[in-house]
Amino acid sequence: MEHMAQNMHYVGDTKDLFELSGSIKNLLQFNKTLTQSVKSELIDVEILDEIKNITNCENTAIYFGKTLRDIKIVIEDDELRKHEIYLEYKAPKKLMITNLKLPSSIKLNREYSCIKDILNTVKQNVYDLARYFYEMENIDQLCSVMEPINGSFKDDYRRIFLDDRTWLHVEVTPEGIATNIHLIGQSMYWHNKLQSGLLNWDHDKSIVDNIMMIFDLFQFPQPTFKHGAPLDMDTEDTTENPIVCGICLCTELPDSPGVPQPLCQNISCGVYYHRTCLYQWLVACSGSRPPAFGIANGSCPTCLQSIACSEKDN
C-alpha cells in the first residue's frame, strides 16, 4: 500500500481512479489493522467513497497526487474557465485547501470535513467573482500588461504600460472595482490626466474603458520591450541586452518576483530598478537607519536626482 501510494501521479483516467479506490477499499475492509494504519497515514474509506460519488454524479475531475493525501480537483464555471483546487488530507474529516488561483478569501482558509463542502464553498466563491474575472480578462486582453509576469486570477493587480517611463498600477477588488490606482515612474503629463480623470470615473463602465477615457487613448500603446527583452528580438536572442536593474544588474531576482521598474521620475534618466534593490540602496546610503513610515529618501544612483522608494510595493 505504501509503495503504491508513493508512486502515484496525477492521472486523468477516471477508470483508473475507480479501480484504484475500489482496490484500496477492498483492502481496508479485508484487514482491520491495515484500515487503522491507512486512516492514520494515508486516507480513510469515507473520502474514497465520496470521491467516487462525486466523479459519478458531477462534471468534476478528481486526481490523486504522489500520495493519497494530495488531491487535485478541477471544476468549470459558467464561462468554461477551469479552476484547479489543490487539497491536503490531514486526518479524517480534516481537509485543507493548499493552493487555489483565486483572490485570497477568509472563507476558504479553514478546515473542511468533506470534499463536498469544499466544492460548494469554492463554486460559490467563483460565482461571486464573475465581475472580477471579466475585468481582469479584459485588462489582460486589451492592455499591455508589464506585471505580473504570467499573471493569474490570484494576482489582484495589473501594471499597464503607458510609455517607456510610466506604468499604471491598478488593483481590482473581488467585486470587480478598481482601487489603489497610481503611476509608477510618474510624468507630469500622465499625472495631470490621472488626477483630473479619477474625478470622472464611471463605475458603470469597465476598468479598461475608464482608463482609455482618463488618458484619451483610442488604443493602448505597445512597449518596445516585454519583461526585459525587446519585442522585435528573436526568441534565441532574448538574453541579450535585457532591461536590467541599475543596481543589481539583473532582470529578475529569485526571492523577489517582478522585473525592474521605471522608479526614477527624471525623464532623461532612463534607468530601471527593482524596488527592493533601490530601497536597500537608499537605506544603506542614509546610514542603514530604518526610515520613517517605510519610505526611504535619497538620490537616484544614476542621475542623482531626488528619489523616494517605499519598503512595500504600493
219 with 237, same domain: the answer is: no
| pLDDT given at position 235 | 40
| Inside any domain, residue 135 | no
| Inside any domain, residue 256 | yes
213 with 235, same domain: the answer is: no
| Inside any domain, residue 184 | yes
Scan for cell 526611504, then name that residue: 296
| pLDDT given at position 133 | 96
| pLDDT given at position 306 | 87
218 with 236, same domain: the answer is: no
Q: Take residue 44 and report the three cell numbers written for it.
A: 480513510
| pLDDT given at position 269 | 80
| Inside any domain, residue 159 | yes
110 with 159, same domain: the answer is: no
| pLDDT given at position 10 | 47
6 with 124, same domain: the answer is: yes
Asked which of 223, 252, 271 is the last residue of a domain, the reply is 223
Q: Under DSSP, is residue 295 helix (H, G, I), strand (E, B) or coil?
A: strand
31 with 113, same domain: the answer is: yes
Write the DSSP string, 217-278: -SSPPPPSEETTEETTS-GGGTTSS---BTTT--S-BTTB-S--B-----TTT--BB-HHHH
Whether 48 contacts 24, CB under 8 Å: yes
201 with 304, same domain: the answer is: no
Is the peptide bond preceding residue 260 cis, with omega within 30 degrees of 0? no
| pLDDT given at position 233 | 40
The secondary structure of residue 99, as a DSSP letter, is: E
Q: What type of residue sits at position 264?
A: C
| Inside any domain, residue 149 | yes
269 with 210, same domain: the answer is: no
Asked which of 128, 157, 172 is the last residue of a domain, the reply is 128
| pLDDT given at position 266 | 78
113 with 195, same domain: the answer is: no
| pLDDT given at position 27 | 56
| Inside any domain, residue 82 | yes
| pLDDT given at position 229 | 43
Asked which of 188, 205, 223 is the last residue of a domain, the reply is 223
| pLDDT given at position 4 | 52
| Inside any domain, residue 133 | no
Show the CA angle centred on residue 166, arms to residues 256 and 295, nearest 5°.
55
Q: Which domain holds residue 181?
A: 140-223
pLDDT tens digit at each of 314 positions of the chain: 555 554 444 444 545 555 666 666 665 555 555 445 444 456 678 888 888 888 887 778 899 888 888 999 999 998 999 999 999 998 888 999 999 999 988 778 889 999 999 999 999 999 999 999 999 999 999 998 988 878 899 999 999 999 878 889 999 999 999 999 998 876 788 889 998 899 889 989 999 999 999 999 988 888 765 544 444 444 444 445 567 888 888 888 877 767 788 888 777 787 888 888 888 888 888 887 778 777 888 888 888 888 888 877 65
The enclosing domain of 177 has a CATH number of 3.10.110.20
80 with 35, same domain: the answer is: yes
Q: Under DSSP, is residue 97 helix (H, G, I), strand (E, B) or coil?
A: strand
| pLDDT given at position 207 | 96
The enclosing domain of 298 has a CATH number of 3.30.40.10
How many domains is the chain partitioned into structurally? 3
10 with 123, same domain: the answer is: yes
195 with 248, same domain: the answer is: no
Of the candidates 183, 169, 165, 148, which has an alpha carbon nearest to the alpha carbon of residue 273?
165
Whether 262 contacts 166, CB under 8 Å: yes
Write the DSSP string, 147-209: ESTT--TT--EEEEEEETTEEEEEEE-TTS-EEEEEEES--HHHHHHHHHHHTT--TTS-HHH
